[in-house]
């Protein structure tokens, strides 16, 4: 039962706000470098940096520079990076065969990072949209996204990533039954220690636009993703999806997007107590960056405040393009 708060002057909340020391003692949540996962975009070539116009400060990097980024992340204490490939359009097909090619961009980048920076955790994306001529996360037939056939393809993709050395698989496709299928396949193939962070509550959001630019999926997408991604109006459904994915073998769960769905993050952590993450997606990042560039907000302060909001909501960590900038700010004592 909540205790009754005494009236002023017996109770003065400002007593514990009076000095930095008192505020530190009373602080309920802490933002740490350990809470950060850095999403990275990988492309073909050597020594290639390709700015993404809709995501100021974010670049597509060739594999050699992805390794350097992982080294920088490790030096800052960031525990994990997450890879997203920008696939040559000539390799995109309706059957998405490039997704499980052992030598595709993502798998080459995994091996390169683990060879040079073995201490950092490498997370991957498991979805077909970077390889799909239709731009969808699943296989398409006659305009319909096929669930079970997609799951079979995703299992092959997951196994190829595990063979390449991935530490965490991130199924972001939202097909039914894919977590159980991946977990069973990983166990059967001897990859029992590979973790799964399921994009269990991924909404059909308008915040993803810059990301689709970054992976080259914007122009390819035919229609929308509302038949497999969640309705933004739904909360109870998210809880049911989280429960199912945990029962099917997910080690960690994710809510995506982040800032507009903090209520979902809080429900998930409160109801399940499982490791819970959020993705501060490209649109959220771009809005903060654009407003800061226009002088409308204090960018570094808003960045840290937004990340603290995830921690306050119950998240154990955040995928964020701000990861290096946030890590430096936290180390400087600004967090």
Q: What is the pLDDT of residues 82-110, one digit of tens each?
A: 999 999 999 999 999 999 999 999 999 99
Question: How far is the C-alpha of 271 from the C-alpha of 281, rounded, in Å?
Answer: 24
Cα separation, 73 vs 37, whole angstroms: 9
β-pairing, 276-280 with 317-320? parallel
Single out the catalytic residue among 91, 92, 114, 202. 202
Q: 31-331 maps to which CATH number?
A: 3.20.20.70
The size of the chain, in residues, is: 335
DSSP 233-290: T-SHHHHHHHHHHHHHT-SEEEEES-GGGHHHHHHHHHHH-S-EEEEE-HHHHHHHHH
The domain spans of the chain are: 31-331
* Known catalytic membership, residue 256: yes
Give the count of beta carbons closer than 10 Å to the beta carbon of residue 239. Answer: 18
Catalytic option among 92, 114, 256, 289: 256
202 is catalytic: yes
Q: 269-307 pLDDT, tens per residue?
A: 999 999 999 999 999 999 999 999 999 999 999 999 999
Mean pLDDT by 10 residues, the chain (335 residues): 80 93 94 98 96 94 98 98 95 96 98 98 96 93 96 98 98 97 98 98 94 77 91 98 98 97 98 98 96 97 98 98 98 83
């Amino acid at each position: 039962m909540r205790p009754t708060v005494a009236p002023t002057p017996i109770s003065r909340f400002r007593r514990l706000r009076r000095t930095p020391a008192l505020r530190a003692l009373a602080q309920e949540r802490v933002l740490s470098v350990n809470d950060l996962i850095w999403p990275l975009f990988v492309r073909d070539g050597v020594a290639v940096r390709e700015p993404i116009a809709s995501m100021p400060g974010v670049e597509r990097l060739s594999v050699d520079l992805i390794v350097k980024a992982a080294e920088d992340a490790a030096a800052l204490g960031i525990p994990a990076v997450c890879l997203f490939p920008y696939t040559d359009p000539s390799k995109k097909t309706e059957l998405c065969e490039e997704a499980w090619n052992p030598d595709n961009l993502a798998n080459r980048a995994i091996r390169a990072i683990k060879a040079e920076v073995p201490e950092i955790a490498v997370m991957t994306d498991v979805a077909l949209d970077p390889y799909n001529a239709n731009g969808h996360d699943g296989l398409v037939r006659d305009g319909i996204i096929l669930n079970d056939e997609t799951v079979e393809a995703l299992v092959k993709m997951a196994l190829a990533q595990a063979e390449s050395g991935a530490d965490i698989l991130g199924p972001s496709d939202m097909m039914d039954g894919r977590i159980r299928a991946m977990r069973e396949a990983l166990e059967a193939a001897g990859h029992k220690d590979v973790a799964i962070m399921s994009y269990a509550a991924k909404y059909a959001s308008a915040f993803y636009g810059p990301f689709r630019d970054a992976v080259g999926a914007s122009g390819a997408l035919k229609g929308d993703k509302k038949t497999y991604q969640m309705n933004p109006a739904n909360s109870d459904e998210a809880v049911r999806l989280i429960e199912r994915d945990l029962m099917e073998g997910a080690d960690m769960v994710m809510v995506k997007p982040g800032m507009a769905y903090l209520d979902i993050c809080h429900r998930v952590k409160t109801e399940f107590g499982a490791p819970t993450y959020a993705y501060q997606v490209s649109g959220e990042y771009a809005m903060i960056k654009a407003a800061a560039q226009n002088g409308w907000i204090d960018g570094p302060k808003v960045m840290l405040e937004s990340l603290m909001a995830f921690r306050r909501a119950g998240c154990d960590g955040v995928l964020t393009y701000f990861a290096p900038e946030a890590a430096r700010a936290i180390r400087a004592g600004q967090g």
